[in-house]
Amino acid sequence: MLKDEDQPDEFEQLEFFYIFCIIWSLGGALVETDREKFSEFLRNTSQLILPSSSLYDNFFNMNGSKFMRWEEKVPAYEMPHDRKFSSILVPTVDTVRYAWLINQIMLLKKPALFCGESGTAKTVTVNSCFKQMDQDKNIFLNINFSSRTTSFDFQ
């Protein structure tokens, strides 16, 4: 990945990207209170200058070689063409962040478990990503679970 071993800027860029990957691999399943602790741990462990805000609120922009806030990627809201209430998805930092992560996983064609607290738009975000995929090449089976779903129900 590095063009020349003597170029410290590229090595530093790789370290930043590595930290971003640690955040969303090892720390992705942490609850909000533990995310801040993990973010602080990485900031104290790393010898790099990292953003002062939570590392979960930032992404590493490879083109700009710097951390940027997820807020900068949130597009303006556009009314759905069909005007159905069920098709409304107001983009937020969370929906943009998780949609980006889902798309990265889907590019790898690897299975993934998308978990999080109740009411954080997991289903809406995942379905939105699936709708953007080529419908001729992909078939989707949507199975809804709740806290009351048992393994017997699923079987």
**DSSP conformational letter for 68:** E
Which tens digits make up the pLDDT trace of 55-81? 999 998 877 778 999 999 999 988 877
Identify whether residues 87 and 142 lie together within a single domain: yes
The average pLDDT across 125-139 equals 85
**Which of 73, 89, 107 represents a domain boundary (last residue)?**
73
Q: In this structure, what token pair is assigned to residue 55?
A: 């590392």
**Which of 73, 99, 117 represents a domain boundary (last residue)?**
73
Identify whether residues 29 and 97 lie together within a single domain: no
The Cα 28–Cα 14 span in angstroms is 20
Q: Are 43 and 50 in contact (CB under 8 A)?
A: yes
Which tens digits make up the pLDDT trace of 100-122? 888 888 888 888 887 777 777 78
| Residue 57 domain boundaries | 1-73
Identify whether residues 6 and 65 lie together within a single domain: yes
Torsion angle in degrees (nearest 10) through CA of 140, 112, 100, 96: 80
Identify whether residues 7 and 58 lie together within a single domain: yes
Q: In this structure, what token pair is assigned to residue 47?
A: 């010898």
**Which of 40, 73, 106 represents a domain boundary (last residue)?**
73
Question: If you average pLDDT over every residue of the chain, what do you get?
Answer: 84
Q: What is the pLDDT of residue 20?
A: 92
Which tens digits make up the pLDDT trace of 17-38? 899 999 998 998 898 899 999 9
The number of distinct structural domains making up the chain is: 2
Identify whether residues 98 and 151 lie together within a single domain: yes
Identify whether residues 69 and 120 lie together within a single domain: no
Identify whether residues 97 and 117 lie together within a single domain: yes
Task: Identify the band that residue 1 occupies on the pLDDT scale cut at 50, 70 and 90.
Answer: very low
Q: Are 69 and 58 in contact (CB under 8 A)?
A: yes
The average pLDDT across 123-146 equals 83
Residue (of 101, 110, 114) closest to 142 by Cα position? 114
Kindly report the CATH number assigned to the domain that includes residue 69: 1.10.472.130
Identify whether residues 90 and 116 lie together within a single domain: yes
Q: What is the pLDDT of residue 6?
A: 54
